[in-house]
Amino acid sequence: MPLESKYLDARFAVSKVLVVDDEAYMRKVVRALLMSIGVRTIYEAADGVAGLDAIRTMGPDLVIVDWEMPGLDGPGFIRMVRSPDTFPFPDVPIIMLTGHGERARVLEAMETGVNEFLLKPVSSKALRDRMIAVLARPRPMIRRGDYYGPAPRKLSQTLNEANDAVANLVLLN
């Protein structure tokens, strides 16, 4: 087993994941997928408000949220979490898992500060790949006007390259 794979398995085993979805069956499916890729600590919330409370009390390493929920929907939930002035854990990685794949919804999810977007039905491989992206290779969080969330991929790549260049200069001196 490659070193990266061992690292990822260990990272998943200690990660706390919160699943926010109003459908009990879907929470059960996501729980089974998470367990199949090695996640041992899984919390569930049946709506957005309960999800906010769970983040405050459980401090998860990752949140998986549905789009359509009664009361506080997925985008509203993300906007509340991504409020660094009022919410205690605004940097928690968020994966939107939804049956709605329309371009406008994907763009809205990105504009609210979601880290990754997945369509239902989801495979364990797709979920694992998105978890690797947010847990093992996280993008830096930025604030631009009303937006607070992960840096766009191109900006994140530029920031990483700049950080690498600075690190190389420090090593050379």
Angle at 53 between CA 87 and CA 14, to 5 degrees: 90
| Model pLDDT, residue 5 | 85
The answer, yes or no, to whether residue 2 has pLDDT greater than 90, is: no
Map residue 99 onto helix, strand or coil: coil
CB 55 within 8 A of CB 92: yes
CA distances from 144 to 25, 111, 114, 122 (A): 38, 11, 15, 32
| Nearest alpha-carbon partner for 62 in 112, 121, 17 | 17
pTM above 0.75, yes or no: yes
Mean pLDDT along residues 48-62: 98
pLDDT for res 151: 93
Q: Which of 122, 120, 109 is nearest to 37 (CA)?
A: 122
What residue segments make up the domains of the chain, in order of their start? 3-138
Q: Which residue has the tokens 């504009």?
A: 111
And the tokens for 96?
Answer: 């939107």
Residue with tokens 């906010």: 52
Give me the mean pLDDT over the 16-24 stretch: 98
The architecture in CATH of the region 3-138 reads 3-Layer(aba) Sandwich (3.40)
pLDDT 10s digits, 56-76: 999 999 999 999 999 999 999
